[in-house]
Amino acid sequence: MNAKAPLYSRSPRRQVGPGLVPLPKTAAESGEAAGGVAAAPPAEPATPVTRVARLRATSRRFQGPLWGLAGAALAVVVSTALVKAPRVITQEDIDAAVRESIEREPLPSQAARAYDAVAPSLVRVVGLMNDEDTGDSAPEKKAMDRSLGTGVVIVANGTILTNLHVVWGAKKIRVRFHNGEESEATMVGAMPENDLAVLKALTPPAELEPATMRSTGDLKPGDHVIAAGFPFGIGPSVSYGVVSGLKREFRSPEGEKTLTNLIQFDAAANPGNSGGPLVTMDGAVVGIVTAILNPNEQRTFVGIGFAVPIENAAAAAGLPPF
């Protein structure tokens, strides 16, 4: 009897472990179907689409715009980190800045500011005592025959306040303004009881700045003042002091007259300051310097000067009261 040739299956042999029963082969595994035709391999089961997969697909689709958005977001974050919150300015910062500014450019003193305010209104007044004196530069002996004093412009048309004793008896009166221009002047008013005279320049400068006048109603002892003028013809000069008292009385050395309701001050004044303005720190004229107390015959300042209140001076010029 002929032995049959062994048949071998083309499918891999299943390993059967201990205690396991081999399953019957399916048609797909045997590679044969009914009728001897090989069956098609079974379709693979569909893989479920997860959220992560969808996100990956979307990111691949919009890769360019997403990179642009990411760059913009990064720029915002970086700029926000670099911009610091504004620093709060404290009072100490302000004080330090003020100190630094003052050290770099020191402010002018109050006296300097007061002088700057009144300087354009200052006038040098010369009373010429003889007809031969023209008022020009002259030998010293002729200069001694002149009466030197100060005036202050109170009206832009060339109206000037000064002391009566500066121009009393003068044959001619010459005035020199802040800009250097000179003019003859005439006396148009007087108040002898207050030693005041009102002058009018015949040819005043085209642009003349009158002084600012202020009431003495709030003036107090201790207030700072300056006296501006031409002491001994030198100037314009300025001295600084305080109001020493109010409502003072002064009798002239000759005893000819007594002045009342005067402002006493200690800013240096000498012959030639007569008729000049007494000025407060705001640049306003509160008085007209009229006298100094001389306990001796040297005619030098000993610390006591007197000024006529500007209310009286304004009345002498016919100006309305304050």
Which active-site residues does the annotation give?
A: 165, 195, 274
Work out the angle at residue 81's Cα, subtended by the Cα atoms of residues 78 and 82, and round it to the nearest 5 degrees.
90
CA dist 264 → 210, 251, 284, 289, 294 (Å): 25, 13, 17, 10, 14
In 3-state terms, what secondary structure has residue 121? helix
The DSSP line for 51-99 is: HHHHHHHHHHHTHHHHHHHHHHHHHHHHHHHHSPPPPPPPHHHHHHHHH
Angle between helices 63-82 and 51-61 (to 10 degrees): 90
Please say whether the beta carbons of 175 and 123 come within 8 A.
Answer: yes
C-alpha–C-alpha distance, residues 250 and 80, integer Å? 78
What value, to the nearest 5°, has the Cα angle with vertex 207 and ends 203 and 208? 75
Tokens of 214: 């202020």
DSSP run (H or E) holding 252 = none
Query: CA-CA distance, 264 to 214, in Å (whole number)?
Result: 17
